[in-house]
Amino acid sequence: MRVFTLTFFHASPNATQLNGIWVTLNRLSELKMNPIVLAIPVFILLMLLEYWLMRRQGKSVYRFHETLGNIYCGMGQLFVDALFKLPLIALYAVVLEHSSILHFKLASPWLHYGLLFVVIDLIFYLNHRLCHTNKWLWAIHGVHHQSEDYNYSVGLRMPWWHKVVSFWTPLPLALMGFSIQDYILVISGHAAIQIWTHTQLFEKRIPIFEWFFVTPSHHRVHHGKNKRYIDKNFAGVLSVWDYLFKSYEPESEKVVFGVHRVQSHTNPLNANLIQFFPKLMAPIKRVELKTLEKTLLTILSLGLILALTAFLSQESAFSGEEKLLIVLAGLSLMAFFGSWVDRGRSSLGVVVPKMVPRLGLVSMLMCLLALL
């Protein structure tokens, strides 16, 4: 039985191929089931479950300002990614149509998607390691490491400019001839799987399993700012890359989370700028929020999550200008709410606390009007 066929080819541009690219883009833009939309409620349930289980053990791993900052960074990335999505899909389609040198047709779906998953994971490792070795790339990627807590919400804390440092990562898959649909399916699963390693529920290492797969202990080391943990354990799902490329470090002492000389911000705009302009950020002097403030912020943030979910589920219905308006409104809203928590003392400009809720409500109205 033939397991796979491997074809070498170089496609030269022609009108038929260009038409095929735009047909593919139109079909993808019409997809009603966005994997991210399905993942959002799952992530929320995971955080609630982790919070409950840790409280039963008498441990508190969630702090309001840290959790809110993590969620805002993740939501901001989703908003910004909406602007990059079609250009990156178009780039993938062009490379696939005109420059792909291999074409894999595996007889078994398990082999086909398994190979795609392994290559994606290897590219993730290489790009992740690169982001830790270049100071400008680290200024972007470092947002993910700023949280001084470690829980499932940290898995959502992604830089807004993530696509700037990872735009190239799909291209090797296009060169190999994997379809856009298959790539989107597998990369979505690859990203979702990594959430489970951002937890302290599993205190100990997991023997044998950790030889092949990244575990919470493995990834906690990566988030540590302990001297022995700096720039270690870059793997995403398969831990073998760390063993193979000699970047593995076991968890042997209590992990101290965060980034040296960088204070964690709830305001996601500041979080995404602080490592570029550290001297312009005054130290945060947080005032403990009142219960009413926390309740109001929680309700408003849940409203924003619903608005984001609605936006992503009907993204293809919006024009480029409408998308830009929604993205700016969403980012502004989170920046104002974050400044509310940080009390404005860390902002590049001075934010009057009493004005923050009003400006936030204006931003939310702009977002809702754009969705209508």
Residue 133 belongs to some domain of the structure: no
**Per-residue model confidence (pLDDT) at position 369:** 52
Out of 181, 198, 215, a domain closes at 198
Residue 72 belongs to some domain of the structure: yes
Count of CA atoms in the C-beta half-sphere (13 A) of 113: 12
Q: 289 and 194, same structural domain?
A: no
Residue 140 belongs to some domain of the structure: no
**Per-residue model confidence (pLDDT) at position 359:** 45
Residue 249 belongs to some domain of the structure: no
Which of 86, 101, 106, 78 has its CA nearest to residue 182?
106
Q: 288 and 168, same structural domain?
A: no
Residue 292 belongs to some domain of the structure: yes
Out of 198, 230, 255, a domain closes at 198
Q: 180 and 306, same structural domain?
A: no
**Per-residue model confidence (pLDDT) at position 11:** 39
Residue 252 belongs to some domain of the structure: no
**Per-residue model confidence (pLDDT) at position 119:** 97
In terms of Cβ atoms closer than 10 Å to its own Cβ (0-12, 13-18, 19+), residue 358 is exposed
Amino acid at 313: S
Which domain does 175 fall in, by range? Answer: 1-113+152-198
The count of domains in the chain is 2
- Cα separations in angstroms, 206 against 213, 231, 254, 302: 10, 22, 17, 35
**Per-residue model confidence (pLDDT) at position 355:** 43
Contact in structure between 76 and 155 (CB atoms under 8 Å): no
Helix axes 64-98, 291-313, angle to 10 degrees: 10
Q: 169 and 32, same structural domain?
A: yes
CB-based contacts of 169, cutoff 8 Å, min separation 6: 120, 123, 124, 127
- Pairing state of beta strands 4-8 and 102-106? antiparallel
**Per-residue model confidence (pLDDT) at position 5:** 43
Residue 346 belongs to some domain of the structure: yes
Residue 145 tokens, joined: 């490491």
**Per-residue model confidence (pLDDT) at position 105:** 65
> According to the 3-state scheme, what is the secondary structure of the chain?
CCCEEEEECCCCCCHHHHHHHHHHHHHHHCCCCCHHHHHHHHHHHHHHHHHHHHHHCCCCCCCHHHHHHHHHHHHHHHHHHHHHHHHHHHHHHHHHHHCCCEEEEECCHHHHHHHHHHHHHHHHHHHHHHHHHCHHHHHHHHHHHCCCCCCHHHHHCCCCCHHHHHCCCCHHHHHCCCCHHHHHHHHHHHHHHHHHHCCCCCCCCCCCHHHHECCHHHHHHHHECCHHHCCCCCCCCECHHHHHCCCCCCCCCCCCECECCECCCCCHHHHHHCCCCHHHCCCCCCCCCCHHHHHHHHHHHHHHHHHHHHHHHCHHHCCHHHHHHHHHHHHHHHHHHHHHHHCCCCCCCCCCCCHHHHHHHHHHHHHHHHHC
- Cα separations in angstroms, 44 against 38, 49, 245: 11, 9, 35
Q: 291 and 190, same structural domain?
A: no
Q: 90 and 176, same structural domain?
A: yes
**Sequential pLDDT tens for the chain (372 residues):** 444 444 433 333 444 444 554 445 445 444 444 667 778 888 999 999 999 999 999 998 999 999 999 999 999 999 999 999 889 989 999 998 887 776 666 778 889 999 999 999 999 999 999 999 999 999 999 999 999 999 999 999 999 998 888 999 999 999 998 988 899 999 999 999 999 999 999 988 899 999 999 999 999 999 999 999 999 999 999 999 999 999 999 999 999 999 998 988 999 999 999 999 877 766 777 778 889 999 999 999 999 999 999 999 888 888 889 999 999 999 999 999 998 898 744 333 333 344 444 444 545 555 555 445
Count the Cβ atoms, other than its own, within 10 Å of residue 135. 9
Residue 61 belongs to some domain of the structure: yes
Contact in structure between 4 and 107 (CB atoms under 8 Å): yes
Q: 282 and 193, same structural domain?
A: no
Q: 183 and 279, same structural domain?
A: no
**Per-residue model confidence (pLDDT) at position 368:** 52
Q: 185 and 326, same structural domain?
A: no
Q: 285 and 194, same structural domain?
A: no
Q: 40 and 185, same structural domain?
A: yes
Q: Burial code of 187-226, b = ≥16 C-beta within 10 A, e = fewer?
A: beebbbebbbbbbbeeeeeeeeebeebbbbbbbbbbbbbb
Q: 80 and 174, same structural domain?
A: yes
Out of 163, 181, 198, a domain closes at 198
Contact in structure between 161 and 205 (CB atoms under 8 Å): no
